[in-house]
Structure 1
Amino acid sequence: MTRNSDFKQVVRARMAATGEGYTAARAALHREAYDAARAEQERLVGRLFTDGRIERVPARRKVRAAVLLEVLSRFEPGRDYSEKEVNEVLLGVHEDFAYLRRELVNYHYLEREDGRYRTAAHAPERSATQRQEIPAWESHWLEGFLTGA
């Protein structure tokens, strides 16, 4: 059961409008949020990728984070990568692999330790300010990807 009273109000409003039970209304709202987040992700990155590569790294943080999420999907969760292996994956996306690697670490999508890289164990906690600059797709997709679900 959710502890978020604002979300409960939205669920109850949907229940009143549709006649659905709490569980059905809650699931429908989650499905709608997931679909909206996926559509936003496709809108943000769809025009940037051509044959799996991008011409330039976007300057806007939200778009850049969306690109980084797409790039992250090329890594196997839980696997250790050498820097050379990470560079090879990133070269398939853009010639400035060092910048992409640094950004993946800065956004806490990859962790670096002793010259080895791996995907983060869990989705990072974001402040309210950071959440404004991160696409909604992160909260819907990232945790499942990182845990292999």
Structure 2
Amino acid sequence: MTRNSDFKQVVRARMAATGESYTAARAALGQEAYDAARAEQERLVGRLFSGGRIERVPARRKVRAAVLLEVLGRFEPGRDYSEPEVNEVLLGVHEDFAYLRRELVNYRYLERADGRYRTAAHAPTRSALERQEVPAWEAHWLPGFLAGAFPPER
């Protein structure tokens, strides 16, 4: 039996999306791969956050994407946000909210239309080059988050 509640939520999100049984979804995701991705994510972002804020924006793309995934967790999937609302959320993370907002859109974590923002409906399809530049955590965590399996971080 799986003890990791985050992993159970990811499995259940996959079950809802694919119609697979719990056992099939769990086998497809792989506990070891999930644990390795989570450890990598914690290693990448652990030293960059202090008190819930980013001390510095990383230059390396993979680390920056890992930070953006952490920031994305502060948004509610499916909710529309005005630009000032997005800015307010991002100001709680770093003073350069415009840069973070742009990066969230560039990485296709947030979608922008008619001056409104919302989390992407689905995890972005990545090219081979893009997959090298994002942490494995994206593939494990993002689909479940976008499906509403995880509550937003506060």
Q: Given the alignment of the two structures, is residue 89 of structure 1 paired with residue 84 of structure 2, yes or no?
A: no
For 1:26-82, what per-residue CA distance to the aligned partner results, in whole angstroms no more than 9, with x for missing partners?
739700000000000000000000000012110000000000000000000000000
What is the identity, as a one-letter code, of the residue corresponding to 1:141?
Answer: W
Specify the SS of the correspondent of 2:124: coil
Which ranges in structure 1 are unaligned for 5 or more consecutive residues?
1-22
Return the alpha-carbon distance in structure 1 between the equivalents of residues 28 and 129 of structure 2. Answer: 28
Shift in CA distance, 59/27, structure 1 to aligned 2, threshold 3 Å: same
Which ranges in structure 2 are unaligned for 5 or more consecutive residues?
1-22, 150-154
Equivalent residue number for residue 79 of structure 1: 79
What TM-score results when the alignment is normalised by the length of structure 1?
A: 0.81
Q: CA RMSD in A?
A: 1.5
What is the identity, as a one-letter code, of the residue corresponding to 1:135?
Answer: P
Shift in CA distance, 86/28, structure 1 to aligned 2, threshold 3 Å: closer
Runs of 4+ in 1 over 6 A off after TM superposition: none
- Over the matched positions of the two proteins, sequence identity in percent amounts to 88
Return the alpha-carbon distance in structure 1 between the equivalents of residues 145 and 34 of structure 2. Answer: 14
Query: How many corresponding residue pairs?
Result: 126
What TM-score results when the alignment is normalised by the length of structure 2?
A: 0.79
Return the alpha-carbon distance in structure 1 between the equivalents of residues 85 and 97 of structure 2. Answer: 11
Equivalent residue number for residue 47 of structure 1: 47
Task: Between the two structures, name the one with larger relative contact order (CA 8 Å, sep ≥ 6).
Answer: 2
